[in-house]
Structure 1
Amino acid sequence: MTQPQPLLLPPAQAQFTEQLPYHRLARLSPRYRWWRPLLGTLVVAVAYMTTVVVLMFLVAALGSGLGYPQDDDGWPEFGPVSETAVDLLCIAVGIPVLLLVVRWIGRRPAGTVSSVTGRLRWRWLLLCVLTAVPIVGLAMGCLFLLPADGEPDSQWVGWPAFGRALVMLVLLVPVQAAAEEYVFRGWLTQTAGAFLRSPWAALLPQAVLFAAAHGWGTPWGFADLVVFGVAAGWLTWRTGGLEASIALHTVNNLFAFGVSAAVVDGLTSDETAADASWQLVVLDVLSIALYTAAVAWWLRRRRLDRTAPAPRPPALPPGHPYGNGVPVPQQWTAQPGWGPGVAGAPPWAGQPGPGAGGVGPWAGRPGPGAAGAGPWAGQGGPGAGVPPTAPDGTVPAPPPAGRPETGTALPPASPGAGGDGTDRT
């Protein structure tokens, strides 16, 4: 005789959260929508341009108020050091603008642009800076060995002027370089990564835009900037943050601006990295490759977080038939509100017959099960403590002393019932 078994539901399976790499962190917000990265890009551009215009007006008003002479365009002439400081500040203001947009439009922590940990990893940043200094310094030293190509000899600016310029550069170049990294390797990479899973597909557009932002000088200079953008983007993805790219960009700019500040009228030059010659590009590409290899070597000896857990879907209220994609066990007996077509109702709910009204199909049949109780009622388990009923609905007298109590053994089948619990009448 086959005894019916209670309904067993599979245990809830463990929930595994998707791990998002750096370029996919735009999806980190539980309120992510496809339009948020696109709207954020537009807001960043408009807000940044507005901030720069306001800053320029303030600087012009300050220069006029202090009595500085004006050039043909009406712009105050502060001198090469001060004008370079203003140029660097105009780029640096992109950091607060970007972080506010990430928070307000992206609906995620602003630190998720810095790294997958939600912040800058300062020790790792310092290690990357110490790695970049000798490599970039060696490349800059080799630059002085190149032929001058008929250019006039540069004149030393003097220690007082060089000292003032150096202090300004040390204070402002790091935030200027970091701002470019936050925009290109940070925001633009994560915006592309919101739609593209491949890291390379997300990294290549920002590298081209980074080169275009420096203007068109020589094909060699443009190619050098693209190589820098690709290498910095790969380092950002591989390390899970902007620290490695910020370190290389900062050290490279400090050396470049420092050399310009050491000579007379060096800071007034309009040349950028886009105007580099092929000899300089060769040295720069070699230093980028050497730095990238050095960071990869460090990564094999240090443990860095490279991904962040994606947010889980919101949990459904208790009692819902499904919670986070896993069935929630429901009581199989009749519950209020069950009926055909109702979420969470058993398959027999609303069917005609003894199981109508959400009661099990065995309800009302002779045997150990009371109306609405399963066939195992009276046994240890879900039906324990429910007294058996006779076919006419009466409750039989309790068993005499010495007999097993209810729930320790099956009661005898009712008259007319087969050994398998089915009615033979």
Structure 2
Amino acid sequence: MGHSTGRHRWWRPVLGTLLALGVYVVLVVLLIALSYGFGAAAGLRELPEGGHDFGPLVNTALDLTFIAVALPLMLLAVWWPGRRPPGTLSSVDGRLRWRWLVRCLLVAVLPVALLAVSAVFLPDSGSGSGESVVWVGWRSFLTSLVVLAVFVPVQAAAEEYVFRGWLTQAVGAFVRSPWFAVIPQAVLFAAAHGWGTRWGFLGLLVFGLVCGGLTIRTGGLEAAVALHALNNLMAFGVAAAIVDGLSSDETAADSPWQLALVDMATTLLYAALVLWLARRHRPQRFSPPVSESAPPPWDVRPPAGARFTDPA
């Protein structure tokens, strides 16, 4: 997408990555300091790992916010120093294609539902401690769902814009085949979730590879965002239904082999369904060619020598 605008320079992806990473670290430190200050002022209990205990739901919302702040930083990195419209990070159309996103969300319901059922009934797929599961009650559960419905999609989208968006396009600017850009982002995506079990890491790696492949095959991030958001909503929703479920520090990286295998199978099922859907609706896959006489549709710069007059 950087090349398609005609403004690509080799240093733009490098500088954008360094600046976004630096600003992200600063913002997270500031958010941690603010939350610590509020917690201290409210006299809340300090946690062993640092910070204060705002309660499972607020703590989860804070953790999601720390990730979500990366989303505007990626868009800013595309705009400057990338010097191209932020929408070119979303798709080859230069925007987020909402109709295609909704279709992908509907397709994701079946695979995510199968994964949710498996998470409940597979052995060793729960907490792994042998403790009994206690229902939190409808009031607490519905309150948690409302909060999670606000924060989780933004957090999931932020991860997709970082890995399948910025990193894929940054690496893709230096290789001839876009498929070589899929592997680095998938490895970094799995590593970013920490090292839990080998199967958990493999499941995340497959997820990153599949989402990267779908991004290229469909020409945008919509398919990856849909699966990631719905998958995370399911995982957090299941945790919110259990007493102290949101307090657990386990992630997908800690998945046992049974659940990791089901996760990989449902991810591949989703990929097959999206590719089938893409054959029917044919979303745009390639960016428009660069031409001085016919610039890309998202390029709103006035032509050279254009003059403006006051309509009044």
TM-score normalized by the length of structure 2: 0.89
User: 5 Å matches for 1:47-86?
Assistant: 47-72=23-48, 75-86=51-62
1:129 aligns with 2:100: no
Is structure 2 residue 226 aligned with structure 1 residue 250?
A: no
Structure 2, unmatched stretches of 5+, are: 295-312
Aligned-residue identity in percent: 55
Higher relative contact order (CA 8 A, sep 6+): 2
What does residue 262 of structure 1 align with?
241
Alignment of 1:84-99 (within 5 A): 84-99=60-75
Q: Secondary structure at the match of 2:280?
A: coil
1: CA distance, partners of 2:255 / 2:48:
29
Following TM superposition, by how much is the alpha carbon of 1:85 offset from its aligned partner in structure 2, in angstroms? 0.1
**Greater fraction of residues in helix:** 2
Amino acid at match of 1:111: G
Q: Which runs of 5+ in 1 are unaligned?
A: 1-24, 316-425
**CA shift digits 1:111-170 (9 cap, x unpaired):** 100111111111111111111112211221133222347722211111121112111111
- Which residue of the partner structure matches residue 204 of structure 1? 183
Give the alignment partner of residue 277 of structure 1, picking from 256, 272, 275. 256
Partners of 2:100 and 2:248 in 1: CA distance: 34
Give runs of aligned pairs for residues 169-208 of structure 1, distance below 5 A.
169-208=148-187
Q: Is the 8 A contact 2:35 2:51 kept in 1?
A: no
C-alpha contact (below 8 Å) 1:29/1:106 kept by paired residues: no
Name the residue aligned to 2:276. 297
Alpha-carbon displacement from aligned partner over 1:180-215 (angstroms, at most 9, x marks no partner): 000000000001110012122110110000000001
Counterpart of 2:18 (choices 42, 46, 51) is: 42
How far 1:280 moved relative to its partner? 0.1
Q: Which one of the candidate residues 287, 291, 294 is aligned to 1:308? A: 287
Residue 217 (str. 1) matches residue 196 (str. 2): yes
Contact 1:128–1:295 (Cα < 8 Å) also in 2: yes
Q: CA deviation at 1:32?
A: 1.8
What amino acid maps onto 2:193 in structure 1?
A: H
Whose Rg is larger? 1
Corresponding residue of 2:84: 108
TM-superposition CA deviations, 1:58-117 (whole Å, max 9, x none): 222223333433335662210000000000001000011111111010000001001111
Match of 2:300 in 1: none
- RMSD between superposed Cα atoms in Å: 1.7
> Using the alignment, how far apart are the partners of 1:183 and 1:210 within structure 2?
9
SS at match of 2:2: helix
Tell me what 2:298 maps to: none
The question of whether the paired residues in 2 share the 8 Å contact of 1:207 and 1:230 is answered with yes
CA shift digits 1:322-354 (9 cap, x unpaired): xxxxxxxxxxxxxxxxxxxxxxxxxxxxxxxxx
State the 4+ residue runs in structure 1 displaced beyond 4 angstroms: none
Name 1:325's counterpart in structure 2.
none
Question: Partners in 2 of 1:259 and 1:307 — Cα distance?
Answer: 38
User: Match for 2:206: what amino acid?
Assistant: V
Cα contact 2:107–2:270 (8 A) shared by 1: yes
- TM superposition shift of 1:246: 0.3
**Which stretch of structure 1 is more off in the superposition, 220-229 or 160-169?**
160-169
The count of residues paired between Structure 1 and Structure 2 equals 291
